[in-house]
Structure 1
Amino acid sequence: MRKQEERHIIDILFVIGLFCIFALSTIFLISIGADIYGKTVSNTEINFNDRTSFAYVTEKIRQADRSGAITASTLEGRSALKLQKTVQDTAYITWLYEDEGYLKELMVREDTPLSLSAGQEILPVSDFSVSRIQDNLLQITIHTADGDDCSLSVSLKADPYVSPAENEEGGAANEQ
């Protein structure tokens, strides 16, 4: 009888031990999965910010890609992208630049005074620079808020030596 009781106790302890091992394994796997999920979400957010900032700037360049309309410039001592456009005989300038930790966009009439703080916040970045490395090639460098340095070269399709006014007059007929 005593041996039978010992056998039942050993059986119960074995089942409890097996259950504890299973529970600890489950908790361990869940914590690993949660860690992997957190890293994936973080990397996705970083990639989103990097790619979205480049896609946004590239799309703005493509929209303004007319001869002489795109300039690597400075705005209050900061590197900026200057995009010129004429709408109903009124000249407008769109500025893309970094201010207060954000990539900002500011569209103003050509004769309007500027204020960096007036720009619309697009995405968080720590630095934004634009340079012309060849006649039809811009180098855009964005230092993201998380510390990554990303560069992109954008080829312009339009002739850089024709003024925007000449392009608007001659380009309108070509677009139709």
Structure 2
Amino acid sequence: MNRYFQKGHSIDLLFTVSLFCVFALSALGVTAAGAVLYQRTVSQERSDYNLYTALSYIEQKLKACDQAGGISLEEEEPGTVLCLHQEIGSSSYLTYIYAYEGSLTELFIQADQEPDFSGGTPLLDIADLDLAQTGQGLFSLTVTEPGGASQTLLWQSETFETGGKTP
């Protein structure tokens, strides 16, 4: 009898199938772990983007209005709002920045108009905007995003030397 044509053992097939199953399960596990990690990364990046963009936007607005009498905090209907005073041509304008119904919102009106805070333009999704003047022209701005993460910007006015008032 020729030994090359002998019947194989069932253990050979079982070992091959088992090895394939281990490989397939390992590949599936690595793929699932990668998907979870990617999802967390995207979620964190979205949160960081909202916080950074909101604070950067407010900071640029503050820099643009950093002049005598240009920046103030006011208590209005939606809470404490950032009020920026501007002269464009011969007209005076006010820009209000505030949190309203889950959004960072901006309202731009002429200075002699009564503000309607429900008519502002929503900019970004945020949970809260906490504004405070902590001292000699120093403003504290804290943005909280819907997931609960928050970030604070401390901004010092270059033109105001005594807490937002001209010297």
- Would you say same fold, with TM above 0.5? yes
How far does the alpha carbon of each residue in 1:71-115 deviate from its partner, in whole angstroms, 9 at most, with x for none? 121222511100000111111000001111111000100011111
Contact residue 73 and residue 130 of structure 1 kept, 8 A: no
Q: Could you give the per-residue CA deviations for residues 41-87 of structure 1, whole angstroms, max 9, x where no partner exists?
A: 00100111111111111111111111221012122251110000011
Q: Which amino acid aligns with 2:29?
A: F
Instruction: Mark the runs of 5 or more structure 2 residues left unpaired by the alignment.
Output: none
- In structure 2, the residue matched to 1:65 is 66
Shift of 1:6: 4.7
Q: Per the alignment, in what secondary structure is the counterpart of residue 162 of structure 1? A: coil
- Aligned partners of 1:72 and 1:82 also within 8 Å: yes
Residues matched between the structures, number = 161
Gaps of 5+ in 1: 164-176
Query: Partners in 1 of 2:125 and 2:76 — Cα distance?
Result: 19
Partner of 2:7: 5
The structure with the greater share of residues assigned to helix is: 1
Look up the match of 1:50.
51
TM-score (norm 2): 0.89
Name the counterpart of 2:145: 144
Q: 1:161 maps to which residue?
A: 165
Q: Which amino acid aligns with 2:155?
A: V
User: Is 73-82 or 131-140 further displaced after alignment?
Assistant: 73-82
Q: CA RMSD in A?
A: 1.8
The range that moved more, 101-110 or 121-130, is 121-130
Q: CA deviation at 1:148?
A: 2.0
Structure 1 residue identity aligned to 2:14:
L
- When structure 1 is superposed on structure 2, of 120-129 and 95-104 the one drifting more is 120-129
Aligned-partner Cα distance in 1 for 2:40–2:130: 29
- Listed one character per residue, the Cα deviations across residues 11-42 of structure 1 (whole Å, up to 9, x for unaligned) are 22211111111001000110000010011100
After TM superposition, where is structure 1 displaced by more than 3 Å over at least 4 residues in a row?
none
Corresponding residue for residue 167 of structure 1: none
The AA in structure 2 aligned to 1:149 is: S
Q: Hey, what's the Cα distance between the residues in 1 that align with 2:133 and 2:94?
A: 18
**Per-residue deviation, 1:143:** 2.1
Structure 1 length-normalised TM: 0.85
